[in-house]
Amino acid sequence: MDQGEIVEDGTHSELMKKDGLYKRLYTKQASLYQNININ
The pTM (predicted TM-score) of the whole model is: 0.71
Tell me how far apart the 2 most distant CA atoms of the chain are, in Å. Answer: 41
pLDDT at 13: 98
Q: Does pLDDT of 28 surpass 80?
A: yes
- Pick from 33, 11, 34, 35: nearest CA to 23: 11
pLDDT at 37: 61
